[in-house]
Amino acid sequence: MKLTLKIWRQRNSNDKGKLETYPVDGITTDMSFLEMIDVLNQQLIKDKKDPVAFDHDCREGICGMCSMVINGRPHGPWEGTTTCQLHMRAFKDGDTVVIEPWRAASFPVIKDLVVDRTSFDKIIQAGGYISVNTGNAVDANSLPIDKTNAEDAFDAAACIGCGACVAACPNSSGMLFLGAKVSHLALLPQGEPEREKRVLNMMKTHDDEGFGGCTNTGACEAECPKGISLTNIARLNREYMRAAIGSEEEVR
Site for other proteins in 205-224 (CB under 8 A): 206-207, 210-219, 222-223
Least distance (Å) from other proteins to the CB of residue 139? 6
Contacts for 28 with CB less than 8 Å, ≥ 6 apart: 1, 88
Q: Rounded distance, CA 16 to CA 174, Å?
A: 25
The residue among 2 and 146 lying less far from other proteins, judged by its C-beta, is 146
- Through-space distance between the first and last CA atoms of the chain, rounded to whole angstroms: 56
Q: Rounded distance, CA 189 to CA 145, Å?
A: 8
Site for other proteins in 151-190 (CB under 8 A): 153-154, 157-158, 160-161, 168, 170-173, 175, 184-185, 188, 190
Least distance (Å) from other proteins to the CB of residue 188? 5
Contacts for 51 with CB less than 8 Å, ≥ 6 apart: 40, 41, 44, 45
Regarding 20 and contact with other proteins (CB under 8 A), the answer is no
Q: Per-residue x/- mask for other proteins, residues 219 to 248, rule CB under 8 A?
A: x--xx------xx-xxxxxxxxx--xx---
Q: Is 198 in contact with 249 (CB distance < 8 Å)?
A: no
Site for other proteins in 60-89 (CB under 8 A): 60-65, 69, 71-73, 78, 81, 85, 87, 89
The residue among 22 and 71 lying less far from other proteins, judged by its C-beta, is 71
Question: Nearest-CA neighbor of 64 among 146, 233, 180, 213?
Answer: 180
The residue among 20 and 23 lying less far from other proteins, judged by its C-beta, is 20
Q: Per-residue x/- mask for other proteins, residues 101 to 140, rule CB under 8 A?
A: --xxxx---xx--x-xxx-xx--xxx-xxxxxxxxxxxxx
Site for other proteins in 25-54 (CB under 8 A): 28-32, 34-35, 38-39, 42, 44-46, 48-51, 53
Q: Is 107 in contact with 176 (CB distance < 8 Å)?
A: no
The residue among 23 and 30 lying less far from other proteins, judged by its C-beta, is 30
The residue among 23 and 215 lying less far from other proteins, judged by its C-beta, is 215
The residue among 23 and 212 lying less far from other proteins, judged by its C-beta, is 212
Least distance (Å) from other proteins to the CB of residue 163? 10
Nearest 5°: the CA angle 176, 10, 110 is 50
